[in-house]
A and B are shown apart, each in its own frame.
Chain A
């Protein structure tokens, strides 16, 4: 069974607008971590933001925020004021501590920012 689901293979957004990338997850462990990574065309994996399952507030890092809805098991990434440099693949990931610290990744969303 898929642990992480990203249902948007590709998205377009106008420069300076906000965009939401969807992510749902599946776990029975009460303690877990949720991550978003960016992969530009150069191929490296860049950490963006983290949300712990016990965190009361949504995580924010600059223009990135994570819309964490625990009951719905969703962890959407919101990018405000999109820039051309935001064009990349975005991966949602989950860490299950009880399961020997395994990480699971979604299939990714390709974001294209239009000028």
Chain B
């Protein structure tokens, strides 16, 4: 059982480049989300989705784009990378309310992104 698979693990970009972080889960979770982790700031929600075709913004959505065409996949796109987007990115998924005992988040292994 793979859980949440996130790729790549490391990425270096130049300012202005675009890229897509991939995220896939095989647990049939309705809820998926992207976080960025910066020192001293914990995890901040970028975008989330409560089901295929439904996405919404989190705390820090600027500069990022998402789509959810299937239940399994939730890619995060950086449109024009900036040094301020240097961070560790986590994809996560969970059951919806009522589907499990506690609907905890299952995390991917993270992507360390550096923008030069």
A contact residues vs B (CB 8 Å cutoff): 4, 6, 9, 33, 35, 37, 43-45, 47, 50, 52, 91, 93, 95, 97, 100-108
Contacts and interface: CB of A to CB of B under 8 A. Distances in A.
B43 A91 contact: yes
Contacts of A107: 40-42
Interface stretch (B18-26, B69-77, B78-86, B105-113): B105-113
Interface of B: 31, 33, 35, 40-45, 48, 50, 56, 58, 88, 90, 92, 94, 96-97, 101-107, 109-110
Given A33-B102, A102-B58, A105-B42, A44 B97 contact: no
Q: SS class of chain B's interface: helix, strand, loop or mixed?
A: strand
B107 A103 contact: no
B96 to A, nearest CB: 7
A96 to B, nearest CB: 11
Contact of B105 (A44, A52, A103): A103
Q: SS class of chain A's interface: helix, strand, loop or mixed?
A: strand
Given A101-B97, A102-B48, A95 B42 contact: no
Most buried by A among B90, B102, B103, B110: B102
Contact of A100 (B41, B50, B106): B50
Given A33-B102, A106-B42, A108-B42, A101 B107 contact: no
Nearest to B9: A43
B95 to A, nearest CB: 10
Nearest to A46: B107
A43 B88 contact: yes
Contacts of A9: 40
B102 A103 contact: no
B42 A47 contact: no
B50 to A, nearest CB: 6
A45 B105 CA distance: 9
B19 to A, nearest CB: 20
Contacts of B110: 43-45
